[in-house]
Amino acid sequence: MPRLGRAARPWLFALAGLAVAAAPVSAGNETMTFRAGCATGERAVIAAVGDLLFHNALQRQALTSTGSYQRFWRPLSPVLSGADLTYGNLEGPVAAGVALGGYAVKDPGRRLDGRVYGAPRGALVFNYHPSLAVELKETGFDVVSTANNHAADRGALGMDRTIDALDAAVLAYSGTRRRIAAPDHRWAVKTRTGGMTIAWIACTYSTNGMPDRHGQALNCYTARDKVLEEIRWNAQDPDVDAVILTPHWGIEKSPTPLSTDRTYARDAIEAGATAVIGTHPHVLQGWEKIATPDGREGLVVYSTGNFISNQVSDDQRTGVIALVELTRTSNTRVAVSAAGFIPTWVERGRHQVAEMRIDKQRGDRAYSSSLRRLPTGNHVTAADFRNLPRACPVSAVTEGTMASVR
């Protein structure tokens, strides 16, 4: 999500100087644990990555005759395919045959032409080849957010054709809808793993000033009441076990969440969300555990940072795979039982994202500046990603069913 001009989001710049959170979120040498970590019952681990952002340099590599999108994250494929559910933020359309301006043209095929796929030099209006949707599914992704500030980069037709591509790949999505939608359209999408049903709700702060005349993208702020209503609706559904909100929010390059977004996160958890997993700042932000009046504990990951992109600073090249473990604590209740993160690093040039090795010189530097915003006691390795920290002996835990239904 590239930097926007002031005209595109004047209200957000006005907030930037006033609404940065004063109280710290969980960070440093802390370890975040949850009461449900000691409960027995069925468990499932969700892996959530950050922005999937394919600048021209990446598309140039992916769209060669021997290239692929999957090559960018191949070192992490065992985690992405091994988690019970895997989520990512799809940062742009995958719209077949839609040119700049949002109108239909002859499709150029699987190549970077700068008109349909990619963008003219210096432009930040994205469109990725629909094969990306297929490759995400093949990797093990189960659900993506399509609500972000690049959702309307190819206009209304681009949003429609992105949905076509995701439907064809059988990849679940939340955050946008077709121009022709039922008046009672619900924004959540439901995924299943084992015996659990998870409802996902995505929203965005903006579409970069691109018109959304048909209300195809769910706005986190102008439709705040609708977002909270959608959370309550799903939390009260007896067929839904957990609700996860994935907002596209915050200030780019800021390591600190807005206080207004911290309030939003609390409202979402109190409305019934099990977890909130945010994107957009392109850098890591802290985590927070929120206790509700009815005794639940919700997890907020304010920003996962980039997963894959061509952005250049150490902060922008550092991200995490956030791991959220859910446990069925009763016949009617599923709760966050543990959380962790795998640090990731994007190597530019060949553009590959892999687990950050903390013992390397660059890793040490990045860990001190970026990863210390997180509860560092929750750092786990890709090889042992299911072994998440908890406040009880592992022997006290019954793992239950963890098989994924994809």
Q: What is the pLDDT of residues 278-329, one digit of tens each?
A: 999 999 999 999 999 999 999 999 999 999 999 999 999 999 999 999 999 9
Per-residue confidence (pLDDT) for residue 269, from 0 to 100? 98
Residue 218 lies in a domain: yes
Residue 10 lies in a domain: no
Residue 52 lies in a domain: yes
Lowest mean pLDDT across 21-35, 128-142, 251-265, 372-386? 21-35
Check pLDDT > 90 for residue 368.
Answer: no
Residue 72 lies in a domain: yes
Residue 16 lies in a domain: no
Question: Does 362 or 320 have the greater pLDDT score?
Answer: 320
Mean pLDDT of the chain: 89
- Domain containing 125 equals 24-396
| CATH number of the domain to which 275 belongs | 3.60.21.10
Question: How many domains does the chain contain in total?
Answer: 1
Residue 328 lies in a domain: yes
Per-residue confidence (pLDDT) for residue 74, from 0 to 100? 97
CB atoms within 10 A of CB 56: 18
pLDDT digits (tens, 9 = 90+) for 4-49: 333 333 333 333 333 434 345 776 678 999 999 999 999 999 999 9
Which whole-number Å values give the CA distances from 142 to 149, 317, 367, 398, in the listed order? 22, 24, 29, 25
Residue 171 lies in a domain: yes
pTM to 2 decimal places? 0.90
Residue 155 lies in a domain: yes
The CA radius of gyration of the chain, in Å to the nearest whole number, is: 20
